[in-house]
């Protein structure tokens, strides 16, 4: 599959590497593609360009930018380049204010998530929340003694969620579908929960798993 990764930060790089590892074609996008020169030199099979280039390239897109700038990045990507495509949304609505006793602050409320805002502004894109509630080291083929961790996903488009589940299978995750875009009200704050042991006790090596009867 041709994958356009919107972002030049660590999450974008880790996910782009995961797609390359699993045989996909990748273009990474940034406002300043030259900042990806080192990454491209280490990953010669990939390509780099602007947000619009990467969005036009991808059959599937990954949104891995600063939460506050997610809508700006999508505007730069161009509505026509994201229309009808699955957009894996790895972003979190982290506010600028510092954490409170290890609990990060969000600029959203429990009644409206960042992904709902993005889906509202870009109704023809098929957003699927994923990868937002785990650290970089465990995004691609995580190995835990307790088995595969669970990736909680949500989104309005069933076909888009199916294709994200297939990718999560490749990336070594089990998938739990938490319904429509409103599910992001619960999935985005999982990032806060994931970070607390890190900020309080410098423990960062964990992932969530849903146990079932």
Q: Taking CB under 6 A as the rule, does residue 47 contact ligand NAP?
A: no
Instruction: Using the minimum distance from each CB to ligand NAP, give the nearer residue, 201 or 212.
Output: 201
Q: Which is nearer to ligand NAP, 36 or 160 (CB)?
A: 36
Rounded to 5 degrees, what are φ and ψ at 197? Answer: -60, -30
Judged by CB under 6 A, the residue of 45, 72, 105, 107 near ligand NAP is 72
**Cα angle value 18/57/152 (rounded, 5°):** 45
CB of 14 to ligand NAP, least distance (A): 8
Separation in Å, CA 105 to CA 34, 66, 90, 172, 198? 32, 14, 17, 30, 15
Contacts of 85 (CB under 8 A, 6+ apart): 55, 58, 59, 60, 61, 125, 126
Binding mask of the shown chain, residues 139 to 158, with x at each position contacting ligand NAP by CB under 6 A = --------------------
**C-alpha to C-alpha distance for 46 and 119, rounded to whole angstroms:** 28
Q: How far is CA 83 from the centre of its chain?
A: 18
Beta-bridge partners for 130: none
Range in contact with ligand NAP (rule: CB under 6 A) among 39-47, 80-88, 115-123, 132-140: 132-140
* Minimum CB distance to ligand NAP, residue 72 (Å): 4
In terms of CB distance, is 25 or 39 closer to ligand NAP?
39
Please identify which residue in 10, 121, 158, 203 interacts with ligand NAP, judged by CB under 6 A: 10
Closer by beta carbon to ligand NAP, 64 or else 128 = 64
Residue with tokens 């309005």: 156
First to last CA, the chain: 35
Q: Which is nearer to ligand NAP, 131 or 163 (CB)?
A: 131
**What residue ranges bind ligand NAP (CB under 6 A)?**
7-12, 30-32, 64-67, 69, 72-73, 90-92, 94, 131-132, 135-136
């Amino acid at each position: 599959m041709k994958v356009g990764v919107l972002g030049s930060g660590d999450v974008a790089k880790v996910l782009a590497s995961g797609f390359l590892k699993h045989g996909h074609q990748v273009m990474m996008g940034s406002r300043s593609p030259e900042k990806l020169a080192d990454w491209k030199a280490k990953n010669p099979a990939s390509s780099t360009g602007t947000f619009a280039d990467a969005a036009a390239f991808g059959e599937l897109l990954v949104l891995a930018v600063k939460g506050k700038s997610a809508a700006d990045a999508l505007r730069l990507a161009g509505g026509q380049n994201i229309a009808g495509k699955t957009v894996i949304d790895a972003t979190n609505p982290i506010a600028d204010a510092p954490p409170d006793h290890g609990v990060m602050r969000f600029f959203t409320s429990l009644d409206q998530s960042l992904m709902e805002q993005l889906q509202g502004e870009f109704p023809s894109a098929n957003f699927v929340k994923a990868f937002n509630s785990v650290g970089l080291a465990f995004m691609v083929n995580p190995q835990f003694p307790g088995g595969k961790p669970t990736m909680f996903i949500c989104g309005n488009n069933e076909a888009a969620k199916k294709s994200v589940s297939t990718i999560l299978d490749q990336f070594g995750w089990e998938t739990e579908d938490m319904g429509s875009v409103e599910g992001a009200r619960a999935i985005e704050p999982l990032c806060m929960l994931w970070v607390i042991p890190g900020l309080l006790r410098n423990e960062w090596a964990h992932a969530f798993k849903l146990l079932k009867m």
